[in-house]
Copies of this chain bind each other. A is one copy, B any other.
């Protein structure tokens, strides 16, 4: 558990923390079946699969207006107040500054423009499981609303009692979700990608899930439905020097480890004393955790790595590209400027990962598996797209014409050339007449 590695050579870094390839190929046949059936039979297929995979079919998939209205009555005032606070911080962080549509004249008479437009119809998926992950409702619905999406639907599997946990319904309600459906799994994703009588088709699907949900999200692309990201197991990397507090670091490592037995947590430090103290603290704190079994399993995938200095630790971290990065070091803010690859960064001893998971305001839907090298967590822009526009005046076209014609000719696309040549001929005729 939580093996220590001392001063590894740079060429061994990757091996030390390698992640397994994703491979949903073994689910392809099943996914194809589900999507084909949902396309052919609609709601009937959803009932079949809900029965088969979840063992129950709700009386209706859509949560009724009445049920939505009552949602929250059974929740404590303190929980509602916590949700309010989190909505406040998340909203403040995700509010976009109004960006004016600026026209750029790329040449005289050639006016180009970009316009940001909300995605019309979006679908949010919230996994079920032991506890209701209502925080993810906030993390997806708030930016969707801020972006201006018109239709925001949510699918989540009902509990064993056949209904959706009240806190999920309540969070959906106060975040302004249009319709809530109690259905989970690959069939929920297929429904949102294709559309059925009960569940409308959407343009993009967001949210975490198990391997079935993830495989279904990948399949959704074949139906021209976009997805937010392909999510793997959750990760945390902590960089700590001797100024860190071992108990804090241990609690952060464990908070990530309790997510799932496939989570990976890493501690990088330049201090052997710190490495030892954190290890002792982890063992001590682990025993008190209800989810100790899950966390212990995750710790077997995890490492304490001792490196010669914090500079080297930063380099290691940028190579690894963790989903979450905690900087528990002196001058943490200065080191933060050197972070090139990470989903979200927590600066200093009083910024635990759980602050970002719930309420600092940043989004907790983040790239895993090294995808942080190339992609971002969810932002309000994730719920928008940009459309480009161009308007050429007669003069603009005449001055660009030789360029376009020359390039089209070289690419052997005469039709492209012709579309310009015709217009030039026409304009020259007018201009000659005019003179």
Residues of A at under 8 Å CB distance from B? 19, 21-25, 28, 32, 78-79, 81-83, 85-86, 88-90, 92-93, 104, 106-107, 110, 112, 114, 117, 119-121, 130-135, 167, 203-204, 218, 221-226, 230, 232, 245, 247-248, 251-252, 254-259, 285, 288-291, 295, 332-333, 336, 339-363, 367, 369-377, 379, 385-394, 396-397, 400, 402-404, 406-408, 410-420, 422-423, 426-427
Whether B291 and A390, one on each chain, are in contact in the complex, defined by CB atoms closer than 8 angstroms, is: no
Whether B392 and A348, one on each chain, are in contact in the complex, defined by CB atoms closer than 8 angstroms, is: yes
Given A360-B392, A407-B83, A410-B79, A344–B387 Cβ distance below 8 Å? Answer: yes
Min CB distance A20 to B, Å, is 10
Whether A423 and B350, one on each chain, are in contact in the complex, defined by CB atoms closer than 8 angstroms, is: yes
Min CB distance A158 to B, Å, is 17
From B106, B256, B389, give the contact of A345 (CB < 8 A).
B389
From B85, B89, B352, B387, give the contact of A343 (CB < 8 A).
B387
Given A104-B93, A251-B419, A392-B360, A224–B413 Cβ distance below 8 Å? Answer: no
- A88 / chain B contacts, CB cutoff of 8 Å: 106-107
From B90, B360, B390, give the contact of A360 (CB < 8 A).
B390
- A132 / chain B contacts, CB cutoff of 8 Å: 410-411
Counting every copy of the chain, the complex holds 2
A376 to B383, CA, bound (A): 11
Min CB distance A19 to B, Å, is 7
- A352 / chain B contacts, CB cutoff of 8 Å: 397, 419-420, 423
**Interface pairs A-B: 8 shortest CB-CB:** A106-B361, A131-B412, A82-B406, A89-B106, A347-B391, A354-B416, A226-B374, A258-B415
Whether B347 and A389, one on each chain, are in contact in the complex, defined by CB atoms closer than 8 angstroms, is: yes
A380 to B128, CA, bound (A): 38
Whether A355 and B397, one on each chain, are in contact in the complex, defined by CB atoms closer than 8 angstroms, is: yes
A19 to B295, CA, bound (A): 47
Given A203-B374, A369-B224, A403-B359, A354–B417 Cβ distance below 8 Å? Answer: yes
Min CB distance A352 to B, Å, is 4
A-B contact pairs, 10 of them (CB 8 A): A112-B360, A119-B374, A221-B230, A290-B414, A343-B388, A350-B423, A353-B416, A354-B420, A372-B387, A376-B387
Nearest B residue to A256 via CB reads B415
- A119 / chain B contacts, CB cutoff of 8 Å: 373-374
Nearest B residue to A357 via CB reads B416
- A371 / chain B contacts, CB cutoff of 8 Å: 224, 226
